[in-house]
Structure 1
Amino acid sequence: MPTISSAGVGSGLDVAGIIDGLMAVERRPLQILSGKRQLYTTQISAYGELISSVSAFQASMENLNSVTALDKFKSSSTNPELINITSTDNPDFGNYDVEVTRLAEFHKMASNEILSTDTFGGSVGDSLSIQVGNDIEDIISVDLSTAQTLTEIRDAINADENNPGVRAALVNGDDDIQKLILTSDDIGSVNALTLSYSGTINSTTFGLQTLNDIGGDINLLDSEFIVDGFVITRNKNSISDVISGVTFELKGSEIGTETTLSVTRDTAGTEAQVRSFATAYNTLFLSIQSQRTGALGTDNLLLSIENQVKNILNSTVDAGTLNTLNDIGLSIDKDGVMSLESEILTAALETGYSNVAKLFSAEDDGYANRLSTLADNWVGSNGFISSRTDGLNQRIEDLSDRQLSIERNLVHVEARYRAQFSALDILVSRFQNTSQFLTSQLAQLPNLRINNR
């Protein structure tokens, strides 16, 4: 805003100070708007913290909103270097003795020792064909009607866009000697390689032979293991269809060595999952209490949220033998803090893990189900908290418009004051000059009377 740089020069009045005082009064509405803006900004920040707490609470509820939410399992292997459990999903519990007698392998073939400069083929109809598995469509043919070196044959196999699952490599020895190595992309007999030839090319041309120690029986490319005396073979080493709900990886074989796989319920994990419910509630409760003494102290939404949650927690669930949170050891003390009694939960779990899970996940009235829906009403795109935040943002936008309008008007107000007080300064200065002249003239009147005598 413009200011008067030398007001009152003629009259001696402190015009600049007077205008500053008047403008301070004029700016009071801006100070009020600034205070409101700060309040709204603080409230938006507080709502953001509340949304964060509610969202964490909702996420915890969703983790419990399933009949299998409490199905926690432990698994172990006495020889993880030979066999290791990689995952469990609603498994059959128990201890299983497993002996790994053979791992599934990639089928691997090697040629004779051949000079790198030697070529093969050169006649019309010459070719080498490689079939992967039993499907006659899974085949690759290398055209040798033009003579090819091992390097060129390798490159042709690997570059073929219709390669069904075989890779070629060269092993280079002394004196430019090479061997062509063929390897299936996947393990097991279903990926065994079968060679065929045409033209002048035959089995002796390359001398390709299986490197695996299978004695010509491709079934020996499969894994073999014994589970509690039951001999089983598979064309893979990751096994998921032998023990229901258990996936284990065969990592090494050792005939005569048994590995015990153990699959049991993880009671501690289940308790931790139930305890997470109490933790989520307490975090939300403490957040509400904190906001109640802060920027949102006058907002009845906090009390509404707290009451809605407590109404659900104090209700019953039609889920069979267990109907309340107290039935599984969850309770709220006089200070509003939820806690868990492990002994009661353990007793409840003995009636069936699904019974406890239904308390949270029952379709119509499960605690987690209803609380998650309730939280969505608060923090969803059209939720109560989101609506309040949107409203405050709109208020801040309106305040900004009003502040800008007032600031523009103050420019004109100050200019008006400056003009008015500049005119006043000139007028007062004239009065002062006139006063000084009259005073001077009046002071000389006695001298005039003396001279006239």
Structure 2
Amino acid sequence: MASITAPGIGSGLDIQSIVSKLMAIERQPLQRLQQKQSQLETQISAYGKLSSTISTFQSAMEALGSFDALRVFSTNTSNPDVIDLTATSSADLGTFGVEVVRLAEKHKTSSSEVLNTATFGGAAGDSLSIQVGSVATDTITVDMSTAMTLQDIRDAINNDTANPGVQATVINGDNGNQKLILTATRSGSEGALTFSYGGSIASTTLNMQTLNNIGGDINLLNSEFNVDGYNITRQSNNVSDVISGVTLNLVNADPGNTYTVEINRDLESVEESVQAFADAFNELRSSIKSLRKGELEADSSLLSIERRVFSVLNTPATGGAFSVLSDVGLNMQKDGTMLLAKSDLQSALQTNFDGVAELFASDTDGFAKRLVDLADNLLASDGLLETRTDGLEARIDIVVNRQDAFLRNLDAVEARYRAQFSALDALVGQLQGTGQFLTSQLAQLPGANS
């Protein structure tokens, strides 16, 4: 039934205005609940920002938290068009002279030129076998007991799921002629193709001939180069087993000319990572300071995080050449920020690189390693941040449920007020009518007007 919202019909009471003002008072607890929900949501958002800042802090620590991350090398070559190189964290430092005598090639063979309608085989036992390299089991056999064109042979080779490493192509020339080209998929002598035949198929049937300029010596498919006068051959042009931790990329042959390659520590990259360490710490501390003055004011979790970070920073490393961050130029300022003295860091890196690496990345008490572990703990599903966020979300659920219950009760309260004031209006109207009647009767009594 619709609520009565018109002014009182008995006494003229403004029921709508009275009920509206009373309901505004009744809704005040709801407004407080809504404000509480907004406050809790703001705190959850603040924890999200803090989590993001700690994650960024963790990434900066990880760049210094392992020996592999710190052992970064720069490489240089005097002629990258002939020889290039890359280095891993296990590279040997040094300068070497490299001469590229010959590049490794993939063995390539070609059949004689035949008409595109020509067929081969067709008798029982006819076959073509291709061995790749020196291992007899790395062989593919094409059954030619049914007559086959070059296209058929090509498809049989390429579609064989056990193909050991040979790619077939048909080249179409003039006047309807074509050739079958067979190419090893790996370079060097271990990719060399050897042919054998069965039935009526003979070496002269397809007349496969090597296209590489090796004069019948498959070892000339290997790369040849020398390092500091030491002559070396390999199966490919990407060589990672000559200089420890270094891959030599042979680009072009240039026999008779020697070029210089260098492997050095990339100290500039390490300096950038240490600067990022200081920047990430300062950003984390600034974020905590801002949250303590704002969304998470008086939240003890922030103080706990800050104390745990400073506990790591104030606990010296043991057993290495350096024990505290100031030994490598990271100094705490009076305002609690961290400042990098680059000259001190550069000196430490140049005199004792391994000592610097140990200070940050030691598994037992390296500063970056310990801070990475701390961030892992804080960001874990059962860590401080997630636990606090879960608690706030649970409180929001309670507040929302109370709001829902309150809203349901408000409807009943408003209906009760309307019923009470409608009854009051009717009663006042009756009393006014009675008063008017009595006044009229009294006026008619003898002597009433004298």
Q: Could you tell me the TM-score, scaled by structure 1's length?
A: 0.95
**C-alpha deviation, 1:264, in angstroms:** 0.8
> For residues 206-255 of structure 1, what are the alpha-carbon distances to aligned partners after superposition, in whole Å with 9 as ceiling and x for unaligned?
11100000000000111111211111110011110111111121121122
Q: What amino acid does structure 1 have at the position aligned with 2:213?
A: D
Task: Establish whether residue 53 from structure 1 lines up as the match of residue 48 from structure 2.
Answer: no
Task: Establish whether residue 229 from structure 1 lines up as the match of residue 214 from structure 2.
Answer: no
Q: What amino acid does structure 2 have at the position aligned with 1:432?
A: Q
**C-alpha deviation, 1:444, in angstroms:** 5.1
- Name the CA distance, whole Å, in 2 between partners of 1:373 and 1:253: 50
Task: Establish whether residue 26 from structure 1 lines up as the match of residue 26 from structure 2.
Answer: yes
After superposition, where does 1:93-112 map in structure 2 within 5 Å?
93-112=93-112
Q: Select between 145-154 and 14-23 the one with higher mean Cα deviation.
A: 145-154
Q: Select between 251-260 and 319-328 the one with higher mean Cα deviation.
A: 251-260
> For residues 392-447 of structure 1, what are the alpha-carbon distances to aligned partners after superposition, in whole Å with 9 as ceiling and x for unaligned?
11110001111111111111111111111111111111122223333344455579
Task: Establish whether residue 288 from structure 1 lines up as the match of residue 288 from structure 2.
Answer: yes
Change (3 A) 1:16 1:226: same
Change (3 A) 1:215 1:343: same
Say which SS state the counterpart of residue 37 (structure 1) adopts.
helix
- Name the CA distance, whole Å, in 2 between partners of 1:6 and 1:54: 60
Partner in structure 2 of residue 403 of structure 1:
403
Q: Is the 8 A contact 2:188 2:221 kept in 1?
A: yes
- Name the CA distance, whole Å, in 2 between partners of 1:359 and 1:84: 33
- Name the CA distance, whole Å, in 2 between partners of 1:262 and 1:364: 33
Partner in structure 1 of residue 220 of structure 2:
220
Q: What amino acid does structure 2 have at the position aligned with 1:153?
A: I
- Structure 1: state its 5+ residue gaps: none
After superposition, where does 1:325-344 map in structure 2 within 5 Å?
325-344=325-344
Partner in structure 2 of residue 12 of structure 1:
12
Say which SS state the counterpart of residue 309 (structure 1) adopts.
helix
Q: Is the 8 A contact 1:60 1:277 kept in 2?
A: yes
RMSD: 1.9
Partner in structure 1 of residue 179 of structure 2:
179
Q: Is the 8 A contact 2:154 2:169 kept in 1?
A: yes
- Name the CA distance, whole Å, in 1 between partners of 2:356 and 2:411: 71
Q: Is the 8 A contact 2:348 2:356 kept in 1?
A: yes
- Name the CA distance, whole Å, in 2 between partners of 1:141 and 1:375: 59
Q: Is the 8 A contact 1:62 1:372 kept in 2?
A: yes
> For residues 55-77 of structure 1, what are the alpha-carbon distances to aligned partners after superposition, in whole Å with 9 as ceiling and x for unaligned?
22223223322234322211012
**C-alpha deviation, 1:362, in angstroms:** 2.5
**C-alpha deviation, 1:268, in angstroms:** 0.9
> For residues 89-132 of structure 1, what are the alpha-carbon distances to aligned partners after superposition, in whole Å with 9 as ceiling and x for unaligned?
32111222212121111110011110111111222222111111
Q: Is the 8 A contact 2:60 2:273 kept in 1?
A: no
Q: Is the 8 A contact 1:319 1:358 kept in 2?
A: no
Say which SS state the counterpart of residue 69 (structure 1) adopts.
helix
Partner in structure 2 of residue 65 of structure 1:
65
Partner in structure 2 of residue 239 of structure 1:
239
- Name the CA distance, whole Å, in 2 between partners of 1:304 and 1:421: 57
Q: Is the 8 A contact 1:121 1:200 kept in 2?
A: yes
- Name the CA distance, whole Å, in 2 between partners of 1:448 and 1:30: 59
- Name the CA distance, whole Å, in 1 between partners of 2:428 and 2:166: 108
Q: Select between 342-351 and 131-140 the one with higher mean Cα deviation.
A: 342-351
Q: Is the 8 A contact 1:319 1:355 kept in 2?
A: no
- Name the CA distance, whole Å, in 1 between partners of 2:2 and 2:331: 67
Q: Is the 8 A contact 1:69 1:357 kept in 2?
A: no
Change (3 A) 1:21 1:86: same
- Name the CA distance, whole Å, in 2 between partners of 1:227 and 1:376: 46
> For residues 304-326 of structure 1, what are the alpha-carbon distances to aligned partners after superposition, in whole Å with 9 as ceiling and x for unaligned?
22222223212211132211111
Change (3 A) 1:344 1:204: same
**C-alpha deviation, 1:258, in angstroms:** 2.5
Partner in structure 2 of residue 386 of structure 1:
386
Say which SS state the counterpart of residue 5 (structure 1) adopts.
coil
Partner in structure 1 of residue 74 of structure 2:
74
- Name the CA distance, whole Å, in 2 between partners of 1:50 and 1:339: 22
- Name the CA distance, whole Å, in 2 between partners of 1:131 and 1:69: 44
Partner in structure 2 of residue 146 of structure 1:
146
**C-alpha deviation, 1:265, in angstroms:** 1.2
- Name the CA distance, whole Å, in 1 between partners of 2:89 and 2:359: 21
**C-alpha deviation, 1:272, in angstroms:** 1.1
- Name the CA distance, whole Å, in 1 between partners of 2:3 and 2:293: 44
Q: Is the 8 A contact 1:70 1:353 kept in 2?
A: no
Number of matched pairs: 450
- Name the CA distance, whole Å, in 2 between partners of 1:374 and 1:207: 70
Say which SS state the counterpart of residue 46 (structure 1) adopts.
helix
> For residues 157-179 of structure 1, what are the alpha-carbon distances to aligned partners after superposition, in whole Å with 9 as ceiling and x for unaligned?
22222221111111111111011
- Name the CA distance, whole Å, in 1 between partners of 2:449 and 2:426: 36
> For residues 344-388 of structure 1, what are the alpha-carbon distances to aligned partners after superposition, in whole Å with 9 as ceiling and x for unaligned?
112222342121111122333221232223333333222222221
Partner in structure 2 of residue 35 of structure 1:
35
Q: What amino acid does structure 1 have at the position aligned with 2:415?
A: A
Q: What amino acid does structure 2 have at the position aligned with 1:256?
A: G
Task: Establish whether residue 114 from structure 1 lines up as the match of residue 97 from structure 2.
Answer: no
Say which SS state the counterpart of residue 153 (structure 2) adopts.
helix
Q: Is the 8 A contact 1:2 1:411 kept in 2?
A: no
- Name the CA distance, whole Å, in 2 between partners of 1:347 and 1:277: 18
Q: Is the 8 A contact 1:157 1:168 kept in 2?
A: yes
Change (3 A) 1:124 1:286: same
**C-alpha deviation, 1:339, in angstroms:** 1.0
Q: What amino acid does structure 2 have at the position aligned with 1:99?
A: E
Say which SS state the counterpart of residue 79 (structure 1) adopts.
coil
- Name the CA distance, whole Å, in 1 between partners of 2:49 and 2:179: 68
- Structure 2: state its 5+ residue gaps: none
Q: Is the 8 A contact 1:4 1:418 kept in 2?
A: yes
What is the percent sequence identity of the aligned residues? 53
Partner in structure 2 of residue 264 of structure 1:
264
**C-alpha deviation, 1:300, in angstroms:** 2.3
Q: Is the 8 A contact 1:192 1:218 kept in 2?
A: yes
Say which SS state the counterpart of residue 255 (structure 1) adopts.
coil
Q: Is the 8 A contact 2:442 2:448 kept in 1?
A: no
Change (3 A) 1:197 1:375: closer
Partner in structure 1 of residue 311 of structure 2:
311
After superposition, where does 1:342-381 map in structure 2 within 5 Å?
342-381=342-381
